[in-house]
């Protein structure tokens, strides 16, 4: 069975990709490289997704899939953006990041925001593909619900769906990552190359 490596230690994310790449053996990169910690110093989600995928493919000599994602807020000129996980500091908690976001938005009428996900696939021969997805909405005045992670409790889609109130499965049907994955699944050339 052909192998695909996921450049993540997150079991939930790895399981998501197992459901996509049926017929392949999907492996979390930490099972092969326990020291895999690439420096994500790119200027965009695409840059950082490619950094992880390319380094993983070089080191494992296998196709590697990665994703990089985050939240962009219009009134904050696109911040937190690629620094979403570290918005309130290098080792900030979700609560700390959310508090900083709400503090910066206090008194602002424009609360438009969107999540972005970029999925990258890199092959040992150096070729790569990327797929981008987004979901648009706004930042709420206060956290809502007990579900999700990161900025989910503060995010409401344009259709009024609050990420903090829906299940993981429900979110997976409408999320930015789902939109990026849909584009990947339509790439027949990629799947042909994976079969070789």
Annotated binding residues for substrate, written as ranges, equal: 8-13, 69, 149-152, 171, 176-177
95 is a catalytic site residue? no
Contacts of 92 (CB under 8 A, 6+ apart): 85, 86, 100
68, 94, 125, 169: the active-site residue = 68
Annotated binding site for Mg(2+): 68
155-182 b/e (C-beta count within 10 Å ≥ 16 → b): bbbeeeebbbbbeeeebeeebbbebbbe
Would you say 11 and 31 are in contact if contact means Cβ atoms under 8 Å apart? Answer: no
Q: What backbone phi and psi angles, to 5 degrees, belong to 155?
A: -110, 135
Q: Which of 31, 36, 70 is nearest to 54 (CA)?
A: 36
Provide the β-strand partners of residue 139.
Answer: 155
Distance between CA atoms of 48 and 66, rounded to whole angstroms? 9
Residues flagged as binding site: 8-13, 68-69, 149-152, 171, 176-177
Give catalytic residues, as residue numbers: 68
């Amino acid at each position: 069975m052909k192998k695909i490596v996921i450049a993540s230690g997150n079991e939930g994310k790895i399981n998501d990709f197992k459901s996509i790449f049926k017929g392949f053996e999907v492996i979390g990169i930490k099972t092969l490289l326990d020291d895999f910690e690439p420096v994500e110093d790119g200027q965009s989600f695409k840059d950082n997704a490619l950094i992880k995928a390319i380094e993983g493919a070089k080191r494992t000599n296998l196709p590697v899939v990665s994703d990089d994602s985050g939240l962009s807020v219009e009134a904050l000129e696109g911040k937190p953006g690629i620094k979403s996980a570290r918005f309130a500091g290098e080792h900030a908690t979700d609560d700390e990041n959310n508090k900083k976001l709400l503090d910066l938005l206090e008194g602002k009428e424009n609360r438009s925001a969107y999540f972005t996900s970029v999925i990258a696939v890199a092959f040992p021969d150096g070729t790569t593909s990327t797929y981008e997805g987004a979901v648009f909405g706004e930042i709420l005045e206060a956290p809502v619900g007990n579900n999700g992670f990161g900025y989910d409790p503060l995010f409401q889609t344009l259709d009024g769906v609050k990420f903090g109130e829906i299940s993981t499965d429900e979110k997976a049907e409408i999320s930015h990552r789902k939109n990026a994955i849909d584009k990947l699944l339509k790439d027949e050339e990629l799947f042909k190359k994976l079969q070789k």
